[in-house]
Amino acid sequence: MASPAPSPAAPLLAFATITVLVSAAAACSAADRDALLAIRAALSEAHLGVFSSWTGTECCTNWYGVSCDPTTGRVADLTLRGEAEDPVMAPAGRPASGVMSGYISDAVCRLDRLSSLILADWKQISGPIPSCVATSLPYLRILELPGNRLTGEIPQSIGSLSRLTVLNLADNLISGAIPCSITSLASLKHLDLTNNQLTGRIPADLGNLAMLSRALLGWNRLSGPIPTSLGSLTRLADLDLSENKLTDAIPDSLGSGHVLTSLYLGSNRISGRIPASLLQNKGLGILNLSRNAVEGSIPDVFTNQSYFMVLDLSRNRLTGTVPRSLASAAYVGHLDLSHNRLCGSIPAGPPFDHLDAESFASNSCLCGGPLGKCK
Ligand SMILES: *[C@@H]1O[C@H](CO)[C@@H](O)[C@H](O)[C@H]1NC(C)=O
Ligand SMILES: *[C@@H]1O[C@H](CO)[C@@H](O)[C@H](O)[C@H]1NC(C)=O
């Protein structure tokens, strides 16, 4: 009975409240704006004016590459890509190729609500990754700094970033070892450290990263064995360890990867035999073991479910014959068995019909197929 009838002004009031909320949401934290200005001051981009929108107070709405949590006004994403296709990048051509120099200021660590930090493909950003990134940015999910000239080491406490799903530092000049703490990044899905100057061993417990689906560590100076633990990564689809100095045999466990589709181990110092499990793996479509010291015979375990877009076993020390079962494979796109010590007649069958002599060149005593009749 006492309940008041809604006054005709109520909808208007509600509308006014929403308006206030929306404009409050747009306001940029003053401390974050200061941090952004300090980040900008350490960088220099002369041709595109990438930072020309970074004026005034509305850093959440108007500043190129910046976005905020709408409820707090705190900066959540900083994304500047030198090869983006945004209008601001148009003067850099298509595909765009922007250039930025300078360094990554420690001020980035004051953006302590940051969920993604992406400064990619600017070619000239140098200096180290501020180590405070690992300790001051607990909400970070994406850290992508590829295609620059970053030096120094990966911050030792990188493992503190418990929410990190993507770590991409490819194509820089980063040196030192991969910190062991990396194995505590329980959410990590994509790890790309390709083409740096990393040394030392691959952390033995890398297989702890249960969510990992891509691990790209090629083109570094990593040594020691391929960790056996990698075989327990049930989501691992792409593993690239090529062009390093890895030694010892390929762990049998790798072949049991349920979703493994590509495995690049070329140009290392890998020895031992090819695990049969690897060639039996039905999902593996790209296998490159080229330029190693792999020995023994090629396991004769191919089936009509074998489907290889690339099977490159060239430049090893393989002996024995070309396995008969390879003739029953559903598909072999690119086969390279050259520069080994294979002998005997090349089997006949559809997978071999399109191959030329190069696939089998420089072996001990192969004959048949594209090499011509056996004597
Ligand atoms: C296999 O890896 C080696 C070494 O990285 C590389 O030179 C070769 O081109 C690769 N093979 C294929 C077919 O991509
Ligand atoms: C593959 O081989 C199995 C057993 O050797 C056979 O039962 C099956 O019909 C074959 N499948 C195809 C598509 O040829």
Please give the full DSSP string across 179-235, using - where no structure is assigned. Answer: PGGGGG-TT--EEE--SSEEESBPPGGGGG-TT--EEE--SS--EEEPPGGGGG-TT
Among 242, 263, 358, which is best to mutate for testing ligand 1, by the most ligand atoms less than 8 A from CB? 242
Which ligand lies nearest to the CA atom of residue 270 in the structure? 1
The CA 143 to ligand 1 mean position distance, Å, reads: 29
Q: Do 281 and 304 form a contact (C-beta atoms < 8 A)?
A: no
Count of other CB atoms within 10 angstroms of residue 227: 19
Output the pLDDT for position 317: 98
| Atom in ligand 1 nearest the alpha carbon of residue 291 | 4
Tokens in use for 56? 């005034």
The CA 265 to ligand 1 mean position distance, Å, reads: 9
Which ligand lies nearest to the CA atom of residue 325 in the structure? 2
The CA 372 to ligand 1 mean position distance, Å, reads: 26
- Amino acid at residue number 84: A
| Atom in ligand 1 nearest the alpha carbon of residue 310 | 13
The CA 335 to ligand 1 mean position distance, Å, reads: 11
Q: Digits of tens for pLDDT over the chain (375 positions)?
A: 344 444 444 444 444 444 444 444 558 999 999 999 999 999 999 888 999 999 999 999 989 999 999 999 999 999 999 988 777 777 777 777 899 999 999 999 999 999 999 999 999 999 999 999 999 999 999 999 999 999 999 999 999 999 999 999 999 999 999 999 999 999 999 999 999 999 999 999 999 999 999 999 999 999 999 999 999 999 999 999 999 999 999 999 999 888 999 999 999 999 999 999 999 999 999 999 999 999 999 999 999 999 999 999 999 999 999 999 999 999 999 999 999 999 999 998 888 888 899 999 999 999 998 888 887
Count of other CB atoms within 10 angstroms of residue 230: 22
Task: State if residue 237 touches ligand 1 by the CB under 6 angstroms criterion.
Answer: no
List Cα–Cα distances, 368 to 338, 352, 353, in angstroms.
Answer: 15, 11, 12
Which ligand lies nearest to the CA atom of residue 303 in the structure? 2
366 Cα distance to chain centroid:
39
Instruction: Supply the residue whose CA is at minimum distance from atom 2 of ligand 1.
Output: 266
The CA 267 to ligand 1 mean position distance, Å, reads: 8
Among 195, 219, 244, 290, which is best to mutate for testing ligand 1, by the most ligand atoms less than 8 A from CB? 290
Task: Give alpha helix (H) positions in 106-174.
Answer: 132-136
Task: State if residue 144 touches ligand 1 by the CB under 6 angstroms criterion.
Answer: no
Task: State if residue 315 touches ligand 1 by the CB under 6 angstroms criterion.
Answer: no
Q: Do 289 and 265 form a contact (C-beta atoms < 8 A)?
A: yes
Among 245, 288, 336, 337, which is best to mutate for testing ligand 1, by the most ligand atoms less than 8 A from CB? 288
Which ligand lies nearest to the CA atom of residue 304 in the structure? 2
Task: State if residue 334 touches ligand 1 by the CB under 6 angstroms criterion.
Answer: yes
Q: Do 175 and 153 form a contact (C-beta atoms < 8 A)?
A: yes
Q: Do 82 and 98 form a contact (C-beta atoms < 8 A)?
A: yes
How far the first Cα of the chain sits from its last, in Å, is 109
- The rounded distance, in Å, linking the Cα atoms of 238 and 274 is 18
Overall pTM surpassing 0.75 (yes/no): yes
Place of tokens 């709408």: 70
What are the chain's domains? 42-371 (3.80.10.10)
Task: Write the burial class of residue 334 (CB in 10 Å: 0-12 exposed, 13-18 middle, 19+ buried).
Answer: middle
Nearest to 298 by CA among 261, 241, 346, 331: 346
Task: Give alpha helix (H) positions in 219-304.
Answer: 276-280
Q: Which residues pair with 245 in a beta bridge?
A: 223
Tokens in use for 172? 């820089």
Q: Which residues pair with 367 in a beta bridge?
A: 345
Q: Do 214 and 237 form a contact (C-beta atoms < 8 A)?
A: yes
Task: State if residue 290 touches ligand 1 by the CB under 6 angstroms criterion.
Answer: yes
Tokens in use for 199? 């040394």
List Cα–Cα distances, 48 to 88, 107, 183, 238, in angstroms.
Answer: 7, 23, 39, 36
Q: Prior bond to 95 cis, omega within 30?
A: yes
Output the pLDDT for position 292: 98
- The rounded distance, in Å, linking the Cα atoms of 141 and 74 is 16
Count of other CB atoms within 10 angstroms of residue 84: 20
The CA 303 to ligand 2 mean position distance, Å, reads: 8
- The rounded distance, in Å, linking the Cα atoms of 373 and 28 is 77
The CA 329 to ligand 2 mean position distance, Å, reads: 11
Tokens in use for 303? 């089936």
